[in-house]
Structure 1
Amino acid sequence: MRTEQKPLLSGFGFHTTAQEALAGRDLHGKVAMITGGHGGIGLETTRVLSEAGATVIVGARHVQQALQNVSLFKNVEVLQLDLSDPASIDAFASEFLKSDRQLDILIHNAGVTAPPESKDFRGYDSQLATNYLSHFQLTVRVWEALKKSGSARVVSLSSIGHMDGQIDLSDLNFNTRPYHWGISYGQSKTACSLLAIELDKRGKEHGIRAFAVHPGGILTGLTRHISDEDLALWGVHRDASGSFIQPEGFKTIEEGAATTVWCAANPILEGKGGVYCEDCDIAEIVPDDYSMRKGVRNWAIDPELAESLWKTSEELLNIPHGAIPQASN
């Protein structure tokens, strides 16, 4: 039965930390994989999962820097992963699969925000390719390891930015429509949400449940490509030294990692999936023209659109249809 897109009244909220969201769960014997798990909210996610006993596989573009960042954590392995390079994604997945381990938690955490307008060597919009298509490809490659778990969870980091970018299947790569980094980013994050919707439908008969997450507004390295003028529209300003002033309505790193950890491991979500979450709860559906930066718009959880995007993604990545089969019922 499909999980209703309706708050559970989980008892957690905006200021819940990742450590609190775990609710004391023991993760010994579990294997987790997280892209970009060596910086920002990804690093905090790695810390909390590893301290709970999980073995954490971190995919990182710069391995030595990542090893330094996680050097104080136990049970953490770092493998080279460049999400902008399809061959690197395949190599990363293959290296993990050589260990013949099950994969209990897969977290699509890494991404880019507002880079200069660019396309990859395939002609794909860089934000769509890095934030979404790379994670779609990785999911397909580690599918058998997820099945082996029997009770895996996949967490796809979306964003409230989805409200700024509906999916345009006829022009995903801005070949005909005018480019705007915010629309591009929003489209990529809508796609990340739709990935969770369709993956949950295909995976639940194998015990694989998927969740989309809005982590909240957090000042991390992802802001490096955004101009001060655009940041000011979100209430973000700098002090005299040039450092960001934490604005009202933004979260700390510990709070920003909380919904990811909640979806990845909190017991309240056993048997649930295919929903968009925020503030450690299932988000409320809001009208498409709702102006507040909260809740989920219908286009980000539309099951028909999710299925269409899935099929389009298979074509864009030259993945055979049915590599992850549709549900049998």
Structure 2
Amino acid sequence: MSTEQKPLQSGFGFHTTAQEALAGRDLSGKIAIVTGGHGGIGLETTRVLSKAGATIIVGARNVKQAQQQVSQLSNVEVLQLDLSDPASIDAFAAGFLKSERQLDILINNAGVTAPPEIKDFRGYDTQLATNYLGHFQLTVRLWEALKKSGNARVVSLSSIGHMDGQVDLSDLNFNNRPYNTDISYGQSKTACSLFAIELDKRGKEHGIRAFAVHPGGILTGLTRHLSDEVLALWGVHRDAAGNFISPEGFKTVEEGAATTIFCAANSALEGKGGVYCEDSDIAELVPDDYTERRGVRGWAIDPALAASLWEQSEELLNIPHGTIPQ
């Protein structure tokens, strides 16, 4: 049964923290994978899941650095994962599948914003490849482990940035149009939302439900490639010591991880899926020309577009059609 793109009136809001969004749920015995779960909101996501009793596998490019960052947490493993490298994704998934464990929670958290490289070694737009295609491939490879759970949730990090970039199926990699960093990022985050829509459609008969998440504006390592001039457009400045000073409207890391935790574990979403969420609730569907930076635009949850993007993603990644049946 499809879930309506309409707020549940969850009782949570902008300032809800990840710990609060969990609502006291015990996750003992649950197994979760969190990509980029060693920094920023990913680390807070890992911390809250760990504290609730789950076993977490963190996928990280720099394993040693990630191990240091999660060293104080219980039940956390770190495995090498580079989402821009298809071979690394396959190796990570194969290693997990070899353990014969079920996968109860998959959080596609890692990402890049305005990286210096415009295209990867395949000629794919770097933001699309890392933020979306890498997670698409990872999820497909982990399909059997998700099915084994019987009650799994897949959470993909989208963004309000989706309002700045619709998916252009005729030119995903900017081969025939001028490259624009903001449009590229927005397209990648629209793609993450559409992925959740189609994945939920394909997975719900197996107990796999999928969600797209806008975490809110948070100053984390994701902004490392942005210039001070670009940040200033958002009202972000540095103090005399070089530390960021953010205006009203930005969240703390604890608040930024809340909607991820809400979608991954809160019982209010039991039996639901295929929706875009923000502020620890299902987001409101707003008109396409809506100018406020909240809500979800129709193009980010369009089922026909989601199905077409899925098929094109299979082709880009050389994944046989029907690997995950409709």
TM range (shorter): over 0.9
- Please list the CA deviations of residues 163-206 of structure 1 after superposition, one character each: whole Å capped at 9, or x if unmatched: 00000000000001010100000000000000000000000000
1:86-105 alignment to 2 at 5 Å? 86-105=86-105
How far 1:246 sits from its partner (Å)?
2.4
CA contact (8 A) 2:235 2:246 kept: no
Name the SS for the 2:285 alignment partner.
coil
Match of 2:83 in 1: 83
2:159 and 2:46 map into 1 onto residues whose CA distance is 20
- Unmatched segments (≥5 aa) in structure 2: none
Match of 2:243 in 1: 243
Q: Give the share of equivalent positions with the same residue, in percent.
A: 84
Match of 1:12 in 2: 12
Name the SS for the 1:240 alignment partner.
coil
How far 1:130 sits from its partner (Å)?
0.2
2:257 and 2:263 map into 1 onto residues whose CA distance is 10
1:238 and 1:72 map into 2 onto residues whose CA distance is 30
How far 1:242 sits from its partner (Å)?
1.8
1:287 and 1:186 map into 2 onto residues whose CA distance is 17
**Are 1:265 and 2:283 an aligned pair?**
no
1:143-182 alignment to 2 at 5 Å? 143-182=143-182
2:95 and 2:16 map into 1 onto residues whose CA distance is 35
2:96 and 2:22 map into 1 onto residues whose CA distance is 25
**Are 1:109 and 2:109 an aligned pair?**
yes
Match of 2:29 in 1: 29
Task: State the TM-score, normalized to the length of structure 2.
Answer: 0.99
1:289 and 1:204 map into 2 onto residues whose CA distance is 32
Number of paired residues? 326
How far 1:116 sits from its partner (Å)?
2.0
1:34 and 1:325 map into 2 onto residues whose CA distance is 25
Match of 1:217 in 2: 217
Name the SS for the 2:286 alignment partner.
coil
Match of 2:120 in 1: 120
How far 1:117 sits from its partner (Å)?
4.3
1:170 and 1:186 map into 2 onto residues whose CA distance is 16
1:98 and 1:128 map into 2 onto residues whose CA distance is 29
- Please list the CA deviations of residues 250-286 of structure 1 after superposition, one character each: whole Å capped at 9, or x if unmatched: 0000000000000000000000000000000000011
1:196 and 1:71 map into 2 onto residues whose CA distance is 31
AA at the equivalent of 1:248? E
2:165 and 2:202 map into 1 onto residues whose CA distance is 25
How far 1:302 sits from its partner (Å)?
0.2
CA contact (8 A) 1:117 1:181 kept: no
2:132 and 2:245 map into 1 onto residues whose CA distance is 30
1:25 and 1:248 map into 2 onto residues whose CA distance is 31
Match of 1:227 in 2: 227
How far 1:230 sits from its partner (Å)?
1.3
Match of 2:208 in 1: 208
How far 1:129 sits from its partner (Å)?
0.2
Name the SS for the 1:25 alignment partner.
coil
2:46 and 2:246 map into 1 onto residues whose CA distance is 24
Match of 1:324 in 2: 324
- Would you identify which runs of 4 or more consecutive aligned residues in structure 1 move more than 4 Å? none
RMSD over aligned Cα atoms? 0.6
Match of 1:299 in 2: 299
- Unmatched segments (≥5 aa) in structure 1: none
1:137 and 1:79 map into 2 onto residues whose CA distance is 17
CA contact (8 A) 1:34 1:58 kept: yes
CA contact (8 A) 1:31 1:104 kept: yes
1:161 and 1:233 map into 2 onto residues whose CA distance is 14
